[in-house]
């Protein structure tokens, strides 16, 4: 099997993995965004219900679905807890480091889980404004570090998939990659 790294998950991560908050889809969501992919082994789908209050867009409710490791589930759970009640502008300032800190720290190998969670949030905020046709002046044009790294992770898996040199068809229908004899 692949490289193994011991994962001393802390109490908070383990607890949120066991009892995640705000799990599930949302029928009346205003925006739904995905970060990661099944091939990456990590994927978060984020649902946001947004309302306008005194000229600001506020996150009324947030739920998530997660396909991923224990840290991924915990990161998505804490993200939804953090953003409810926040304006989109406030939510935008949340970084992957905030999520990792809120979880009481993550092993470095799992940083990408909090990156993915924040990547999904930032995508959702962007697509909400695109949907309503508004361009807030505080929303940067260039991608944030979380959005860039999420994109990178998604692209890397495509490269791995496309990387095999030759395909050999075997007598009993199976097939596998190999190096040329």
Partner 1 sequence: MSVKELLKLHGSPPREVYFDLENSGYVPREVIDAMLPYFNSTGYGHPSITHKPGWEAYEVIYETKELLKEVLGARSHEELVFTHSGTEANNLAILGLALANRARKGKIVVSAIEHLSVIHPAELAESLLGFKVVRVPVDGEGFIYPEVLQEFVDRDTILVSVQFVNHEIGTVQNIEELSKLVKDINPDTVFHTDAADAFGKFRIDLGRLSNVDLLTLSSHKIHGPRGVGALYVREGVKLEPVLRGQLSTEKLWPGVENVPLIAGFRKAVELAFNDFDGSVARMRSLRDRLMEGILSRVPDVLVNGPRDLSRRAPDNANLSFLYVEGEALTVELSLRGVYVASGSACTSRILEPSHVLLAIGRKHEEAHGSILFKTSRYHREEDIDYAVGAVAEAVERLRAISPLRRSS
- Which positions touch partner 1 (CB under 8 A)? 1-5, 7-11, 14-15, 17-18, 20, 23, 25, 34, 38-45, 65-70, 72-73, 104, 109, 112, 153, 156-157, 160-161, 168, 170-181
Least distance from C-beta 115 to partner 1, angstroms? 12
> Distance between CA 129 and CA 34 in Å, rounded?
16
Residue whose CB is less far from partner 1, 112 or 122: 112
> Distance between CA 32 and CA 52 in Å, rounded?
18
Of 26, 31, 35, 40, which is the active-site residue? 40
Least distance from C-beta 133 to partner 1, angstroms? 27
> Which candidate, 69, 80, 67, 83, places its Cα nearest to that of 13?
69
> Distance between CA 27 and CA 71 in Å, rounded?
26
Q: Catalytic residue at 113? A: yes
Residue whose CB is less far from partner 1, 140 or 178: 178
Least distance from C-beta 146 to partner 1, angstroms? 16
Residue whose CB is less far from partner 1, 5 or 132: 5
Sign of CA dihedral 95, 58, 83, 42: negative
Q: Catalytic residue at 69? A: no
Residue whose CB is less far from partner 1, 45 or 61: 45
Helix, strand, coil shares of the chain, percent, nearest 5, are 45, 25, 35
Least distance from C-beta 12 to partner 1, angstroms? 9
Rg, C-alpha atoms of the chain: 19
Of 50, 71, 83, 113, which is the active-site residue? 113
Burial category of 167 from C-beta neighbours within 10 Å (exposed 0-12, middle 13-18, buried 19 and up): exposed
Catalytic residue positions?
A: 40, 113
């Amino acid at each position: 099997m692949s490289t193994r790294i011991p994962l001393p998950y802390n109490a908070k991560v383990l607890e949120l993995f066991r009892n995640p908050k705000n799990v599930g889809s949302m029928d009346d969501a205003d925006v739904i965004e995905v970060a990661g992919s099944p091939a990456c082994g990590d994927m978060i789908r984020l649902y946001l219900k947004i309302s306008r209050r005194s000229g600001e867009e506020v996150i009324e409710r947030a739920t998530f679905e997660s396909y991923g490791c224990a840290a991924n589930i915990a990161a998505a759970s804490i993200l939804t807890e953090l953003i409810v009640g926040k304006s989109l502008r406030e939510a935008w300032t949340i970084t992957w480091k905030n999520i990792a800190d809120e979880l009481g720290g993550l092993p470095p190998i799992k940083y990408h889980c909090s990156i993915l969670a924040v990547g999904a949030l930032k995508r959702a905020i962007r697509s909400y404004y695109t949907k309503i046709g508004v361009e807030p002046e505080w929303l940067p044009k260039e991608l944030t570090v979380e959005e860039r790294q999420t994109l990178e992770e998604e692209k890397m898996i495509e490269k791995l998939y496309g990387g095999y040199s030759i395909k050999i068809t075997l007598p009993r229908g199976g097939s596998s990659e190999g190096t040329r004899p």
